């Protein structure tokens, strides 16, 4: 018997799609744009809007007054306001158009417009999450979110300090009200040392308070469209509004 020729079957090629992060100054006045870019040069931070371009559309997130998703799309480099600063190649994704639409539909449920927060849940955070789910290779540039991250840290530190001070005051007050004071100076000094020890313990505990983030509630909005295709018919199609 003759040897049979075995022809290897090539694995199907997965087409990859480029992903681009577009960054804008979050203002339109020329003087404010100049200040924002000067701030970027001085401290490496600024107030920015951004969107992720994939499959010929740019996706972002914004605040809404009524319940419904804050996710929206438009033609690349044509946001409703803002001055273009820079575009960064984030690599590629293997997500084809149909799977992208499903991903956007899931994100639309999660990113409600009424839950927008300037420091903790804004367009930059949405773009970070979208890039993560697209599995791009290039890390998200930290300078884009540096200003909001710093503001969030300051706000959370202030909350934690206020909570720690309130807890300390409450504990010391309770101790004073319930303490059984000893007779004589030595006894009173002993009680006071106990109070000071409690205060030191609370102070030490306050340094280890875990920072708290905002709790996001997912609102099931029956008006959310189930098909993403109509949103692509318009250059500024808003999903779910």
Confidence grade of residue 94 (pLDDT, cut at 50, 70, 90) = very high
Q: Looking at per-residue confidence, does 88 or 214 come out higher?
A: 88
Classify residue 82 as exposed, middle or buried by CB count within 10 Å of its CB (0-12, 13-18, 19+). buried
Which band of pLDDT confidence, cut at 50, 70 and 90, is reported for residue 192?
Answer: very low
Q: Which two tokens stand for residue 137?
A: 């290779």
Give the pLDDT confidence score for residue 147 in this predicted structure.
87
pLDDT greater than 50 at residue 224: no
With a pLDDT cut of 90, the percent of the chain lying above it is: 44
> Do residues 133 and 103 touch, judged by C-beta distance below 8 A?
yes
pLDDT given for residue 12 in this prediction: 60
For residues 63 and 113, the answer to whether their CB atoms sit within 8 Å is yes
Q: Tell me which of 13 and 154 has the higher pLDDT.
A: 154
**Domains of the chain in sequence order:** 17-150+219-232 (3.90.1720.30)
Q: What is the pLDDT of residues 5-62, one digit of tens each?
A: 666 666 566 689 999 999 999 888 898 899 988 989 898 889 999 999 999 999 999 9
Cα three-residue angle 98-102-104, rounded to 5 degrees: 115
pTM above 0.75, yes or no: no
Tokens, residue 193 = 């040392």
């Amino acid at each position: 018997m003759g040897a049979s020729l075995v022809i290897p079957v090539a694995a199907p090629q997965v087409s990859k799609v480029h992903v681009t992060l577009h960054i804008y100054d979050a203002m339109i006045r020329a003087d404010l744009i100049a200040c924002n870019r000067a701030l970027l040069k001085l401290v490496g931070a600024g107030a920015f809007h951004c969107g992720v371009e994939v499959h010929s559309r740019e996706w972002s997130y914004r605040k809404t007054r009524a319940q419904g998703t804050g996710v929206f799309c438009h033609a690349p480099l044509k946001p409703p306001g803002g001055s273009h600063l820079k575009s960064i190649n984030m690599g590629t994704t293997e997500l084809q158009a149909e799977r992208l639409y499903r991903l956007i539909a899931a994100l639309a449920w999660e990113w409600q417009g009424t839950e927008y927060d300037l420091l903790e849940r804004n367009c930059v955070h949405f773009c970070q999450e979208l890039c993560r789910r697209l599995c791009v290779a290039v890390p998200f540039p930290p300078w884009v979110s540096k200003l909001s991250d710093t503001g969030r840290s300051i706000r959370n530190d202030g909350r934690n300090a206020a909570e720690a001070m309130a807890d300390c005051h409450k504990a010391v007050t309770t101790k004073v009200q319930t303490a059984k004071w000893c007779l004589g100076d030595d006894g009173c000094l002993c009680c006071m040392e106990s109070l000071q020890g409690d205060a030191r313990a609370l102070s030490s505990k306050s340094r280890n308070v875990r920072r708290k983030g905002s709790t996001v509630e997912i609102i099931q909005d029956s008006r959310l469209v189930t098909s993403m295709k109509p949103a692509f018919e318009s250059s500024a199609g808003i999903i779910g509004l």
